[in-house]
Amino acid sequence: MIDIAIVGGGLAGGLTALAVHRAHPDLRLAVFEAGEDFGGNHRWSWFATDLDPDGEALIAQFRKTEWDKGYEVLFPGQARTLASSYRSLGSRDFDATLRRLLPQEALRLRARVSELAPDGLTLDGGDHIPARVVIDCRNVAPSPHLRGGWQVFMGRHLRTDAPHGMARPIVMDARVAQEGAYRFVYTLPLGAHDLFVEDTYYADSPVLDRSALSRRIDDYCEQMGWQGEIVGGETGVLPVITGGDFAAYRRELGPPGVVRAGARGGFVHPLTSYTLPFAVENALVIAREAKLPGEQLAALFEKRAQDHWKRTDFYRSLGRMLFQGAAPEERYRIFEHFYRLPEPLIERFYAARSTLSDKARVLIGKPPIPIPAAVRALLGKGAPLVHEGPR
């Protein structure tokens, strides 16, 4: 009998396993991951201010890239350097750390789970494994109960022939042609000769046109004077949730008694689709409460998910303004306006900890989109998030 069975060895599942093992090395723990490695093929980034000291201590176990000289944003009407430190973790380093720090018997790769229940799981092939607590950290599932748009992106790891000379990340370069979406390019200088360049779209549909995005990354690199060899890359199609019936969504995930965490559990920043700060927070809560019976831990997480949904309502409203209140080519103005605001407000926004006065500051001032369109968008429902995008 396993004490804690985690299904899905992505960001949330892996962090949870590490946090539980660190707090309770005596507990029998296993992470069941369908893939060959933990974490898939991702690069996860976040602001240092997204994490509290306990979160920082958990993530300190991974080798990651850190930038402490701030970051830049570039728009047609403004360029700004912000002071916040930025961090990025590649899934290879994530995988290596889990293999190094977790007990061998906890690493269950190539183990696809076909059924989850409060008292155990069934693997593809039929083996049943009893467990005191079952934690569902599988991928986010498209759902007719959620509404919104899509974040579509392609990233490229480029090893440059000459040192590129970039000192800090460019988190948004929106000076590029908008191409029917809010489009920006994101660049991380991973090393003196290494750049990670990502072309990102806030788009109405989940279509990832690989050849068009690849060509546009070529063009961007050429304009920036970067030449070199492509050594890796990633693509993503993530839901940007702008509304929906969250209780119906959670019910659809399965019967009560299973702990539902990760992006699938609803623990996302609705506007950025990022999850790292919430995955870290949840991992620490599970570690603290790891001795609770499964049903109680599941109930605690049901409540955390409902609370998370309530406290992120503001970001869903902004998402509606982005997708429904502005023509695709004009969407960048919302972010350009946002990036004129004070930096502590921006930090709280990304950590999904905006105060009431932050929210008022974001919404008042010279509106970046026409007021009637904004009001219609705030009252509107948005499109259902049901398409499964090509990845």
Ligand X SMILES: Cc1cc2nc3c(=O)[nH]c(=O)nc-3n(C[C@H](O)[C@H](O)[C@H](O)COP(=O)(O)OP(=O)(O)OC[C@H]3O[C@@H](n4cnc5c(N)ncnc54)[C@H](O)[C@@H]3O)c2cc1C
Residues that bind ligand X (CB under 6 A): 7-13, 32-35, 40, 42-46, 112-113, 137-139, 234, 236, 238, 262-264, 273-276, 279
Tell me how far, at minimum, the Cβ of 217 lies from ligand X, in Å: 14
Tell me how far, at minimum, the Cβ of 36 lies from ligand X, in Å: 10
Tell me how far, at minimum, the Cβ of 33 lies from ligand X, in Å: 5
Give backbone dihedrals phi and psi of 107, rounded to 5 degrees, phi first. Answer: -90, 100
Structure tokens at 23: 């707090």
Q: Are 174 and 186 in contact (CB under 8 A)?
A: no
**Residue closer to ligand X, measured from CB, 84 or 324:** 84
Give the separation between CA 203 and CA 360, rounded to whole angstroms: 26
Question: Which amino acid, 294?
Answer: G
Q: Are 24 and 38 in contact (CB under 8 A)?
A: no
Tell me how far, at minimum, the Cβ of 277 lies from ligand X, in Å: 7
Tell me how far, at minimum, the Cβ of 65 lies from ligand X, in Å: 12
The kind and range of the H/E element at 80 are strand 78-82
- Please provide the DSSP assignment of 105-170 as one string: GGEETT--EEEEETTEEEETTS-EEEEEEEEE-PPP--EEEEEEEEEEEEEEEEEESS-----S-E
- Which candidate, 117, 327, 92, 110, places its Cα nearest to that of 203? 327
Tell me how far, at minimum, the Cβ of 138 lies from ligand X, in Å: 4
Residue number, nearest CB to ligand X? 10
Structure tokens at 26: 């005596």
**Residue closer to ligand X, measured from CB, 8 or 118:** 8
Tell me how far, at minimum, the Cβ of 73 lies from ligand X, in Å: 16
Beta partners for residue 122, in sequence order: 115, 128
**Residue closer to ligand X, measured from CB, 287 or 377:** 287
**Residue closer to ligand X, measured from CB, 9 or 189:** 9
The kind and range of the H/E element at 220 are helix 210-224
**Residue closer to ligand X, measured from CB, 32 or 301:** 32
**Residue closer to ligand X, measured from CB, 48 or 363:** 48
Terminus-to-terminus CA distance in the chain, angstroms? 36
**Residue closer to ligand X, measured from CB, 291 or 353:** 353
Cβ neighbours, 10 Å, residue 93: 16
